[in-house]
Structure 1
Amino acid sequence: MSSILSLLVLSGLFGLGAPLAAAVNVSVPLSLPGNSQPLSPTLVSFSIEQDRWPEWVGIDTRNDFTHDALLRLASFTGVPPKIRVGADSEDHTFWSPTMAVSEAEFSPPSTIIPYPEATKVTVGDKYYTLSHWLPRGTHMTWGVNLGADNATNAVNMAKAIVRAFKSTVVKASGVVLDYIEVGNEADLFSRNGLRPSNWTVEEYVPDWIAIAGAAADAAGIRGKHGPVSLQGAAFAQQQFTPRAIYDLGILDSKPGKAVSIISQHQYSAAFCNGGDFPLTSFMSKAHVRGNLSLFIPDIEATHARGLPYILGETNSIACHGAPGVSNTAGAALWAIDYTLQAATLSIAEVFYHEGIGYKYNFLQPVALNRSIVDGSALDTPLPPHIQPIFYGAMAVNALIGRSGHARVVELDVGDDNVAGYAAYEDGRLVRAVFVNLHAWLASSTGARPSVHIDLGVGLGAGAVEDAFWRGGGKARAKRLVVGHADDTEGLTWAGQSYEKSGDVSPTGRMVDEEVVLSKGLDLRSTEAVLLLF
């Protein structure tokens, strides 16, 4: 029988005048539980909107800010995030032999969408070779246009992608192509004019087989075990599902046999027409679990066919995020819970979508001349910078660590606002993270609520562990400190800020707290803490 470390969590006041919540016991197995799931070093990865890809990585010179930000995340796990280039503009991209890099046509900015996606992108071969500006060891997925229903264009794009990764400059960079994705969110084609309004999943399957088959042949993809294969599905909602296309025989087709991974997309809400999205509702354990659990049948069906499953595009709120939610410190805490909850459901990787000027970006890679909130002109351009949610990615990567084989379980925390996860290496507990999602706002009054996490002993641990915990055993703690959930800056991780430097390097003195396990620790509302045992 594995020994159990029992944590006594005393919930604080959640709201002025609220009664003290009852104590809850949280059992943390000291050895690896049977329901653990892998923690991929690239669990936090990124999907980049295809239209302004050159600005993200640089054209004639590298975008050092992007490079530095990706390396900062890699410093925690030893591996840079994976990068998928595609999304909405994937199905508006056309290859041209005369285009030097790319040209894009955009709709006018609006107060709701200050930085719209392109309505048309024309690219040349150099557009794809810009991949070499990413950190060494980056693995990539490239999108190919299905929306145009033009096999010739899909073939040209696939050939250009493969040529780029066979070029001397990309091969020397150590950046690797894993997948080609044919079509982004095809279940929305009937709404966005790319297919008739009555287009069905039964029509999608032969359509995809025809275009993806031509693209795969052009790219030299012969099956799912080669160096490059196909990424399947990439659906937006539940109109089309992996289960439906499996039942329609897509995996039995020639290109279907080259599909080696399945992707779906998810957002918690949509800001396409504006609206009011309360941050307090967004920062919710129940909300996170409800948004992810609906994918469980597709995850299980995908694994039954021997394929890994990812969220190939996701973020807080669709249509580039909602102001006062996606660009706030609260989003950093949401991202910790959302990402790790996905991992416990056997979602291998979570690709957070990014663009230029999007409210939900982890980083803004170029200077901005318009406000991301309402599109108004800025008196002074805003330089490249990270946004609060970037801190959430650092906290997740710190939990994952550098071993390459960590595993995770969710801890049963009987508190509506507090989530907890434990990480294991070589069968032993090594780290744990607790997130207090109760939103402490700039408008909040009274004393800031706090939860006491009492690392109690003698509640089921073995004799050796019991002696350790009672005998002054200690752990280190790194804290994600936030002023208010609706702040857009001013966060610190382990006492350091990553917002005040041009290269995403830390400023300030590192603070590692010493935690006497028998005394426990406090976790304030809108805060997270990582324990290292």
Structure 2
Amino acid sequence: MLPSILLVAIAIAIVGVDRVYAQSTLTISVPLTAPTQAVSVSPALLSFSIEGDRWPEWVANPPSYTTRNDFTFNALSNLGALTGLPPNIRVGANSEDRIQLDNTVNVVQASFPPPTASLPYPEASAVLVSDGYYTLSRFLPSGTHMTWGLNFGTTNTAPAIAQAKSILSTFSSTGASTAAGISLDLLELGNEPDLYGTNGHRTSGYSISQYVSEWNTVMSAIISATSLKTGVRPFILGLSFGHSDHGVGEFSPQQAFADGYLTTNAGKFVTIISQHNYEGGCCTALVSNLMSKSLTRSNLTAFTSDIQAVKAKGLKYIFGETNSYFNHGVPSVSDTGGAAVWVVDYTLFAGTLGIANMFFHEGIGFKYNLFQPVSLNRSIEDATPLNPPVAAHVQPAYYAAIVIAEFLGSSTRNLVELSTTSSNIISAYALYSGTSISRVLLINHQAFLSSSSGSARPSVSVFFSLSGGGKTVQIKRLSIPFADSKSGLKWGGQSYETSNALVSGSLVTTSQVLTDPIVVSATEVVMVTS
């Protein structure tokens, strides 16, 4: 654990940058014990949402799908080894409302629109799956907790009932997924129903009151046709809206509650409310925009009233689908080192607001993926053919998941953001194990781009002021060549850019006394621990 810290004085020494980054000394008060605003966070704070159409490839090897995808397994297991629990997995998203159960197909049969430069790997327009599609859950790391989506693209109850029965079978006491140590936590009926009036699933003008009524009808039919019981897993994941008006009168948790959502027959099974959120829209952005400390806080704090409304009902609140920019990300932004910096800050700041889990959305070939689980034969940037194909690989944002997992660790986790309100480029978090401070994470949001190659890299000198002084700590760095780099990152001198997602290289950390400055370079994350 870190020695007792009275305050942190951060002296900013930035070379060669615009006045927007010029700062005076910044003093941060660090409580010796966990403050009352510290939030207990899950080891699965960072989790994954998987697009349903190509879930089989994500987790298993085609065409038979009888063996696991070792790259995916290793990438997830790396995280579980650091926290003691693998990330939670949700399967569904846009594909969720297009899936039909058909046991005449071998696992999955999907129809895809042609790729385009703006959408190189589009979602399927129609998906047929067999029972084997759901039993692929067994290939996840043991201890994984899952959420499975059900088709609400139609008010016909038959597709969703058939899917629910198939899912419950593989997670029964004798089911294959249960035997593999995988748990079914939640069922989700429908993906972003607030968008149904514009995406063809319902007529224009579809309202939240219509949604509440139809959702209760279909979900109640599922409950009647299956073994679901209140108070027993699996529970029901509620809402999963793509947007929220935060209680103004349209789609939001507040309005759903006002319309009787939780008092319906099906609503009594709801234990968690899900919101979908992205940092921005497609299709252009700058990496410096994504890394912006202020924009991230503006984005997330907009949901404060929603979080409070949900918690007032005794329910958990999650981002059941999230990532950088919707429609699979922005080229050369969502797949860069700057995205890694953003994921660290975005996830931890969300945790301090009381968002229990952040399910980062993944697919095959999506630009914002944390890792690409299979080889790709066309570019994720513009659909240009790749010859030879690019093998499965981690992307820069995967390092963020590793950093977060190691920062949270495997003991009791109480998280607080340290006040840095006078700094527009530095954010800092403290983690308390029990009530004692354990680790501090420092993030430099300034984008250092490849166009600056050859120039001095700006840096921030961080001074820790201690009671007793002279204490020694370990420093571990997420080193990123440039904010727009797509490879070459290292965490503590080690790389995950390997053929099997396993770590490579010798660990590099440094020791120093806390009376000496800790230098945090532009586009860098630094963890301080004893």
TM-score by length of 1: 0.95
Q: Which residue of 2 aligns with 1:175?
A: 182
In structure 2, relative to structure 1, the CA distance for the partners of 1:63 and 1:21 (3 Å cut) is same
Q: Identity of counterpart residues, as a percentage?
A: 43
How big is each residue's C-alpha offset from its partner over 1:270-321, in whole Å with a ceiling of 9 and x where there is no partner? 22xx3x2011121111111111111111110110000011000000000000
Moved more, 255-264 or 208-217: 208-217
Separation of aligned partners in 2, 1:349 and 1:16: 36
Q: Which runs of 5+ in 2 are unaligned?
A: 245-249
The amino acid that maps onto 1:474 is T
2:191 is equivalent to residue 184 of structure 1: yes
1:171 deviates by: 2.1
1:480 deviates by: 0.2
Q: Which residue of 1 aligns with 2:481?
A: 483
1:17 deviates by: 5.6
Q: The residue matched to 1:178 in structure 2 has which SS? A: strand
1:386 deviates by: 0.4
Separation of aligned partners in 1, 2:128 and 2:298: 39
Matches within 5 A, 1:373-384: 373-384=381-392
Q: The residue matched to 2:280 in structure 1 has which SS? A: coil
Q: Which residue of 2 aligns with 1:8?
A: 9
Which residue, 277, 283, 295 being the options, matches 2:291?
Answer: 283
Separation of aligned partners in 2, 1:42 and 1:281: 27
Which residue, 366, 371, 375 being the options, matches 1:367?
Answer: 375
Q: Which residue of 2 aligns with 1:261?
A: 272
The amino acid that maps onto 1:16 is V
1:252 deviates by: 0.4
Separation of aligned partners in 1, 2:308 and 2:224: 30
1:502 deviates by: 1.8
Separation of aligned partners in 2, 1:246 and 1:402: 36
Separation of aligned partners in 1, 2:475 and 2:55: 38
1:27 deviates by: 1.1
2:401 is equivalent to residue 393 of structure 1: yes
Q: Which residue of 2 aligns with 1:56?
A: 58
Q: Which residue of 1 aligns with 2:501?
A: 504
Moved more, 442-451 or 100-109: 442-451
Separation of aligned partners in 2, 1:17 and 1:387: 30
Moved more, 425-434 or 233-242: 233-242
Q: Which residue of 2 aligns with 1:449?
A: 458
Matches within 5 A, 1:316-335: 316-335=324-343
Separation of aligned partners in 2, 1:163 and 1:218: 13
Q: Which residue of 1 aligns with 2:210?
A: 203
The amino acid that maps onto 1:13 is I
Separation of aligned partners in 2, 1:424 and 1:355: 34
1:13 deviates by: 2.4
The amino acid that maps onto 1:295 is F
Q: Which residue of 2 aligns with 1:347?
A: 355
2:74 is equivalent to residue 65 of structure 1: no
Q: Which residue of 1 aligns with 2:233?
A: 227
Aligned-residue Cα RMSD (Å) equals: 1.4
Q: The residue matched to 1:456 in structure 2 has which SS? A: strand
The amino acid that maps onto 2:199 is N
Q: Which residue of 2 aligns with 1:532?
A: 529
Q: Contact conserved, 1:100 with 1:125, CA < 8 A, in 2?
A: no
1:15 deviates by: 5.0
Separation of aligned partners in 2, 1:20 and 1:250: 50
1:4 deviates by: 5.2
Separation of aligned partners in 2, 1:242 and 1:20: 41
Separation of aligned partners in 1, 2:221 and 2:13: 60
Which residue, 22, 34, 41 being the options, matches 1:32?
Answer: 34
Q: Which residue of 1 aligns with 2:131?
A: 125
Q: Contact conserved, 1:456 with 1:520, CA < 8 A, in 2?
A: no
Separation of aligned partners in 2, 1:78 and 1:189: 39
The amino acid that maps onto 1:80 is P
The amino acid that maps onto 1:486 is D
Q: The residue matched to 1:88 in structure 2 has which SS? A: helix
Which residue, 397, 400, 409 being the options, matches 2:416?
Answer: 409
Q: The residue matched to 1:8 in structure 2 has which SS? A: strand
The amino acid that maps onto 1:292 is L
The amino acid that maps onto 2:365 is G
Separation of aligned partners in 1, 2:36 and 2:392: 44
In structure 2, relative to structure 1, the CA distance for the partners of 1:14 and 1:279 (3 Å cut) is farther
Matches within 5 A, 1:72-91: 72-91=78-97
1:14 deviates by: 6.9
1:78 deviates by: 1.1
Separation of aligned partners in 2, 1:13 and 1:477: 21
1:222 deviates by: 2.2
Q: Which residue of 1 aligns with 2:220?
A: 213
Q: The residue matched to 1:240 in structure 2 has which SS? A: coil
Q: Contact conserved, 1:154 with 1:214, CA < 8 A, in 2?
A: no
Q: The residue matched to 2:243 in structure 1 has which SS? A: coil
Which residue, 137, 157, 162 being the options, matches 2:163?
Answer: 157
In structure 2, relative to structure 1, the CA distance for the partners of 1:234 and 1:15 (3 Å cut) is farther
Separation of aligned partners in 1, 2:396 and 2:507: 18
Q: The residue matched to 1:160 in structure 2 has which SS? A: helix
How big is each residue's C-alpha offset from its partner over 1:146-176, in whole Å with a ceiling of 9 and x where there is no partner? 1122201111111111011124422210001
Which residue, 506, 523, 526 being the options, matches 2:520?
Answer: 523
Q: Which residue of 1 aligns with 2:304?
A: 296
Q: The residue matched to 2:306 in structure 1 has which SS? A: helix
1:20 deviates by: 4.6
Q: Contact conserved, 1:158 with 1:218, CA < 8 A, in 2?
A: no
How big is each residue's C-alpha offset from its partner over 1:325-345, in whole Å with a ceiling of 9 and x where there is no partner? 100000000000000000000
2:149 is equivalent to residue 143 of structure 1: yes
Separation of aligned partners in 2, 1:362 and 1:68: 13
Q: Which residue of 2 aligns with 1:461?
A: none
Which residue, 238, 243, 246 being the options, matches 1:237?
Answer: 243
TM-score by length of 2: 0.95
How big is each residue's C-alpha offset from its partner over 1:465-493, in whole Å with a ceiling of 9 and x where there is no partner? x22x2xx2111111000110000000000
Which residue, 45, 48, 51 being the options, matches 1:46?
Answer: 48
Moved more, 508-517 or 298-307: 508-517
Separation of aligned partners in 1, 2:224 and 2:388: 50
Q: Which residue of 2 aligns with 1:116?
A: 122
Q: The residue matched to 2:423 in structure 1 has which SS? A: coil
Separation of aligned partners in 2, 1:234 and 1:11: 42
The amino acid that maps onto 2:406 is A
Q: Which residue of 2 aligns with 1:460?
A: none
1:507 deviates by: 1.7
1:102 deviates by: 1.1
Q: Contact conserved, 1:14 with 1:438, CA < 8 A, in 2?
A: no
